[in-house]
């Protein structure tokens, strides 16, 4: 079925109106009328081919929230009228060791990502949430707590799970000291989750103007990372630090803040390799780790947790016609803290 969308036609062209084809729902499929779609920095990377493997035209968007309009004969989790969500993946092999552990994002035969991935059903590439509708297997479709504002909940599908998953894995709980580097789309969710888990939460930012916001979001302390004395006061005291920064920066400054067996977890993706001090790792047996979104079960767990605790993203809602301006503003960090597209604007 023909579907209106916004797409980039090349690495240098702005996004604009485009028509794509969605499949008719199969037996296990859920058809969703998209209400809101969050805007992730990954969308910019793909639209501008900054990672070198974009296939054009590309329709970005993997923070999708909408209303179910049809279900296949075998669907059991959803009915027409339900709120439903789709994150970064729409399929995987489901049989490899990673998939059997609920780690579909690490599928050893290749996860099928929501856009710019090989479409197993229709051929060609998958198309994302900058569109009026989407059809996804119910196994990769998520339930949305009804008490959450739909627009604010949409970015949970990437920004939320990207920060929730490492907090859970590295035990950001009461009695632990947890740092969050950067207060952007990812960082503001990291602060919210660390606070909700009961950890002593410290925000690191280069911007003194973000101190008040950091405390509002749940930080017990805010440290201006350019202040060497302020940083030194925290040396060797952190159990975990979540680094959300995608720009080039000195990670050794944060390594020195970890205690014995402390872990620095990277979820940002700088374009260039980061310099790492071997001695900073060796002396107090510190660790550097990475984390990528989360599996389907963990993403549902995250959404349920957010429903119980009333957690959602701080968003600025825009019409699709402002997406190119929004990209430029994101690059200037001129958003608090996630853009979300009201997809009703696509139909105007």
- What are the extents of the domains in the chain? 2-158+294-347, 160-290
Length of the chain: 348
Q: Backbone phi, then psi, for 23, in 5-degree steps?
A: -70, 155
Percent of the chain's residues with pLDDT above 70: 100
Strand 258-266 and strand 177-181: the pairing is unpaired
Closest by alpha carbon to 171, among 255, 262, 247?
262
CATH of domain 160-290: 3.40.50.720
What value does the mean pLDDT of the chain take?
96
Candidates 3.50.80.10, 3.20.20.70, 3.30.1490.20, 3.90.180.10; CATH matching 2-158+294-347: 3.90.180.10
Burial of residue 332, with CB atoms counted within 10 A of its CB: 0-12 exposed, 13-18 middle, 19 or more buried = exposed
pLDDT (tens digit per residue) in 232-258: 999 999 999 999 998 889 999 999 999
What's the confidence (pLDDT) of residue 46? 96
Residue 269 phi, psi (nearest 5): -135, 75
Q: Which two tokens stand for residue 26?
A: 């199969």
Largest CA distance in the chain: 63
What local confidence, expressed as pLDDT, does residue 335 receive? Answer: 94
* pLDDT for 272 beyond 90: no
Give Rg (Cα) of the chain. Answer: 20
Q: Over the stretch 47-86, which tens digit does the pLDDT of each residue have?
A: 999 989 999 999 999 999 999 999 999 999 999 999 999 9
Which residues are 221's β-sheet partners? 202
2-158+294-347 matches 160-290 in fold: no
């Amino acid at each position: 079925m023909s579907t209106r969308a916004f797409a980039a036609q090349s690495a240098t062209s702005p996004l604009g109106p485009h028509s794509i084809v969605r499949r008719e729902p199969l037996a296990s499929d859920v058809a969703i009328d998209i209400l809101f779609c969050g805007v992730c920095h990954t969308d910019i990377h793909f639209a501008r081919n900054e990672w070198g493997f974009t296939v054009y035209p590309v329709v970005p968007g993997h923070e999708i929230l909408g209303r179910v309009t049809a279900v296949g004969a075998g669907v059991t989790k959803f009915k027409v009228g339900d709120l439903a969500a789709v994150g970064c993946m729409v399929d995987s092999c489901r049989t490899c060791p990673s998939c059997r552990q609920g780690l579909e994002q690490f599928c050893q035969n290749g996860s099928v990502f929501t856009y710019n991935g090989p479409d197993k059903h229709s051929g060609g590439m998958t198309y994302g949430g900058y569109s009026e509708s989407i059809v996804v297997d119910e196994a990769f479709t998520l339930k949305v707590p009804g008490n959450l504002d739909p627009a604010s909940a949409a970015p949970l599908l990437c920004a939320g799970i990207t920060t929730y998953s490492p907090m859970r894995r590295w035990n950001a709980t009461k009695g632990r000291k947890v740092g969050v580097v950067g207060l952007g789309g990812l960082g503001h969710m990291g602060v919210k989750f660390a606070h909700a888990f009961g950890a002593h939460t410290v925000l690191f930012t280069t911007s003194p103007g973000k101190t008040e916001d950091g405390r509002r979001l749940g930080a017990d302390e805010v440290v201006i990372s350019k202040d060497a004395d302020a940083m030194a006061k925290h040396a060797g005291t952190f159990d975990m630090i979540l680094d959300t920064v995608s720009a080039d920066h000195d990670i050794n400054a944060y390594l020195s803040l970890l205690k014995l067996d402390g872990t620095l977890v990277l979820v940002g993706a700088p374009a260039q390799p980061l310099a790492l001090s071997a001695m900073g790792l060796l002396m107090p047996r510190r660790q550097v780790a990475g984390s990528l979104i989360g599996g389907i079960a963990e993403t549902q767990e995250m959404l349920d947790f957010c429903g119980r605790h009333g957690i959602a993203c701080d968003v600025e809602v825009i019409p699709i016609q402002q997406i190119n301006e929004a990209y430029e503003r994101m690059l200037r960090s001129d958003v608090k803290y996630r853009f979300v597209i009201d997809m009703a604007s696509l139909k105007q």
